[in-house]
Structure 1
Amino acid sequence: MSATRREILARSGALGAGIAFTGALAELFTGTAAAGGLGHSGYGPLIPDPDGLLDLPKGFRYKVLSREGDQLRSGEGRVPSNHDGMAAFGGRQGRVHLVRNHENRTSGRIGVPAIEGLTYDPVGKGGCTALTLDRHGEVLGERVAIAGTAVNCAGGPTPWGTWLTCEETEDKAGTGGYTKDHGFIFEVDPVDPRRTGAVPLTAMGRFQHEAIAVDPRRGIVYETEDAFQKPFGLFYRFLPDRPLGGTGSLRAGGRLQAMRVPGVPDLSSIQETGASFDRVEWVDVPDTQAVQTPIRLQDFGKKGITHAQKLEGCYWGGRCVYFVSSFARSADGSASDHYGQIWRYDPDERRLTLVIVFGPDTDVQLPGESPDNICLAPSGGLMVCEDGNGAQHVYGVTRRGEVYAMARNAQNTGTVEEPEWGEFAGVTFSPDGETMYVNCYAPGTTFAVTGPWRRR
């Protein structure tokens, strides 16, 4: 298969501290690419893991921190299934606190155990678990952080050290046996979950949440909506009444707005990297609780609102917020096809820019298809979780715009004739940048990866 079929285009301005994507990135997966490595572009070819769990470059090693079905260290039950979004927080004496989502519904393999004082709806099987690691990376504790929620997909950390976990559903009480409405964001304290409890942040909207990112200067929270059926999701911002007020401040309320890009009803119609739009508008959401009508279906006036299929990962870098559209398919109703976009919004300039386009002629057996969770790497580049078809990777993008495979899921949940691999999710780094943590969605596995990380 020719390398041009795996071309990834990338062009943008600065990302964080001096990170830039420039030019066209063609023929990236040549030479050692068949083995998953990209030579000088990354850390070398991926070495097949003799234990069949995680393939990494030479010099890197992994440790399994937690696996679904094992007993929680707290004695509260078994480790839940469907490991998804995650973040790492620094603690005292070099400890690291991990908060991990579990994307369960009312049924599934293993739900999050219901714990008194931490359970929102006893019928919901989603939620979060929290791991505490010592300075050497050994697991000291593992417990339920919130329970009784639904379809906890991604989320994001706050500047005051908490995790916002997002429900990717719009189910109301009575649907599937739920006793309460779902589709909210919940705040989770990674050190003491009982400080935050199980209280929905209703002012932040009720919709199919995916991820969030917080502007550390203004306290504005940006939110993505993962809707793959038309009408597609929206990109939101929440203006808190008490910005940057610490734990509990988001409960004080605020205004929820949706992004309108004049003249662009569907972001998938934009295909050229570097395309930029000034004068982005923000429109108040008519009914944030979606009592009768889902927000994306509500009336935003004659000018309408801007939609996008599969809005997923979201993060803050430098002075901008970045968000991901995992894919778009014209067969589903999108204006155009793509295998992934990354957008940048600059709030100072009110400017939206298309940073990266993946595909559409991407080989799904190699990195470069359907980006999902995303984070900054110690090298100053990006780490991106792939959520598509075929082999599943964590892949990186260097500051020079080169793409390389960092990890490959070796856990075949299918057959030899028809192999299947679960997606990666929740990629994040320890505060000192020495360890990459990442989840395999199914079978639910949390890895800690160490090695010769290049420093920024």
Structure 2
Amino acid sequence: MSVTRRQILARSGAVGAGIAFTGSVEQLFAGSSAAAHVGGTAGYGPLVPDPAGILDLPRGFRYRILSREGQAMRSGQGPVPSCHDGMAAFPGRPGHVWLVRNHENRPTSPHRVPAISGITYDPEAKGGCTTLEVSSEGAVRTERVAIAGTAVNCAGGPTPWNTWLTCEENEDKAGTNGYTKDHGFVFEVDPVRPERSGAVPLTAMGRFQHEAVAIDPRDGVVYETEDAFEKPFGLFYRFLPNKPKGGPGSLRAGGRLEALRVPGVPDLAVVQAPGTSFDGVEWVPVPDPLAKQTPIRLQDFGRGGITHAQKLEGCYWGGDRVYFVASFARKSEGSLADHFGQVWSYEPGRRRLTLVIAFGPDTDVDTLGESPDNIALAPQGGLMVCEDGGGAQYVYGVTRDRKVYPMARNRQNTGTDAEPEWGEFAGVTFSPDGRTMFVNVYSPGTTFAVTGPWRRR
């Protein structure tokens, strides 16, 4: 039986050593200091087994459970909804943080986002967002519904004006699965006063299986990923808003939606070598952003077609470029090539697309991992990555000198002793002061605040 990365990470003697991986990661840390090293090794040392069997962390780090699905929300609006997913942290009162948390609820999810007057889109849809106000002591002061009546809210992204864009990973039309309205949209959420944003779909940004978004703060262009589940797979989009200076509600003014075309590359999976770049990539207008008759990925983009990719996931802005994640690609499912995860960057100033990192597989201990999902830049330097593969579930860090180290392990076994199962991590984000890492476990839905000796250089 081959030794896997997960087995190595589980061995306390090897955890702190760090594992190298392929790819040029320096550009991911532009303007950021190197991650901390403990005793000359990457990271913060081995994970210490949690006596409570909930969350393993390195020595000196502590966690607090802020919220769990099924518990009563402090607002009295009902139980905490299920399926904790994408999340972001925003500044609040001095020392306070506002968290906006997605709930990727489907019709069968046990705890829906309660339908609240004024902030509900489709009363028959169970997804949405909740918002939490966390004090400087780590106590939850407020927990309430921020938007309801949306479907399968997977990820999203923050705006430069401190609101959250929540994305529906669903494109069901009214009359399907009991829904009364069309789905597949982006919605803006005000974390402090949700009633300001209401529940208005940003229709010009397209109707498709949205995953995540990132905004170029210089010109307001919004980049969007699509996680389509069947061939032909999703596209990478950009939305050019009519009000590029932004501000709350500005995206309602509409704009132009375009999709990425890399000439000669019908599927990003065929690109395997990190560092491979394509200059002069093209942006093609989407014929029907509302997908009234045909899903966007199936529409006619004219001569040259369009470029697809399986499992487009996380998306974030850093420095002068946008980064986006392809979690995996499998020929057996229709992709033109196999891979275990990729991070791409697009530089608008050069119209240049670059494969930055190639992941996995898990059986190769010299590579980073497999099935990356949510990724966040850590203020103390480096990346935090939520791995969404099989088996044990980790949040791990990546240093700028290409070392990976474990930051957290989910110990909540939702299976049996003979066949254990662990819910994936999602929504990793940091408080504005960089002192707290917030992260979700998808199932059972749990939101954690992690504090400790975050080193800075």
Say whether the fold is shared (TM-score over 0.5).
Answer: yes
Shorter-chain TM-score: which interval?
A: over 0.9
1:380 CA drift (Å):
2.1
Q: Deviations over 1:343-386 (max 9, x none)?
A: 0111111101111111235469x971200001100222111111
Q: Does 1:255 align with 2:268?
A: no
User: Map of 1:164-313 to 2, 5 A cutoff?
Assistant: 164-313=165-314
Provide the residue aligned with 1:444 in structure 2.
445
Q: Structure 1: which 5+ residue stretches go unaligned?
A: 22-36
Q: Does 1:114 align with 2:127?
A: no
* Secondary structure of 1:210 counterpart: strand
* Secondary structure of 2:274 counterpart: coil
Aligned length in residues: 440
1:69 CA drift (Å):
0.4
| Distance in 1 separating the partners of 2:364 and 2:441 | 21
Residue type matched to 1:9 in 2?
Answer: T
Q: Normalising by structure 1, report the TM-score.
A: 0.93
- Structure 2 contact 151–169 (Cα < 8 Å) conserved: yes
| Distance in 2 separating the partners of 1:44 and 1:95 | 29
Residue type matched to 1:410 in 2?
Answer: R
Q: 1:178 to 1:39 in 2, by over 3 A?
A: farther
| Distance in 1 separating the partners of 2:399 and 2:201 | 38
| Distance in 2 separating the partners of 1:293 and 1:172 | 12
| Distance in 1 separating the partners of 2:384 and 2:347 | 21
| Distance in 2 separating the partners of 1:204 and 1:224 | 11
- Structure 2 contact 161–248 (Cα < 8 Å) conserved: yes
- Structure 2 contact 377–384 (Cα < 8 Å) conserved: yes
| Distance in 2 separating the partners of 1:213 and 1:319 | 12
| Distance in 2 separating the partners of 1:451 and 1:349 | 40
Q: 1:367 to 1:348 in 2, by over 3 A?
A: closer
| Distance in 2 separating the partners of 1:164 and 1:9 | 32
| Distance in 1 separating the partners of 2:404 and 2:198 | 41
Provide the residue aligned with 1:67 in structure 2.
68
* Secondary structure of 1:302 counterpart: coil
Q: Deviations over 1:184-214 (max 9, x none)?
A: 0000000000000000000000000000000
- Structure 1 contact 386–424 (Cα < 8 Å) conserved: yes
Residue identity over aligned pairs, in percent, reads: 73
Q: Which of 1 and 2 has higher RCO (CA within 8 Å, sep 6+)? A: 2
Provide the residue aligned with 2:11 in structure 1.
none
Q: 1:388 to 1:38 in 2, by over 3 A?
A: farther
| Distance in 2 separating the partners of 1:442 and 1:269 | 33
* Secondary structure of 1:173 counterpart: coil
Provide the residue aligned with 1:91 in structure 2.
92
Q: Normalising by structure 2, report the TM-score.
A: 0.93
Residue type matched to 1:359 in 2?
Answer: G
* Secondary structure of 1:250 counterpart: helix
| Distance in 1 separating the partners of 2:57 and 2:28 | 26
* Secondary structure of 2:129 counterpart: strand
1:297 CA drift (Å):
0.5
| Distance in 2 separating the partners of 1:40 and 1:446 | 29
Provide the residue aligned with 1:11 in structure 2.
24
Q: Structure 2: which 5+ residue stretches go unaligned?
A: 7-18
| Distance in 1 separating the partners of 2:355 and 2:99 | 31
* Secondary structure of 1:251 counterpart: helix
| Distance in 2 separating the partners of 1:84 and 1:352 | 28
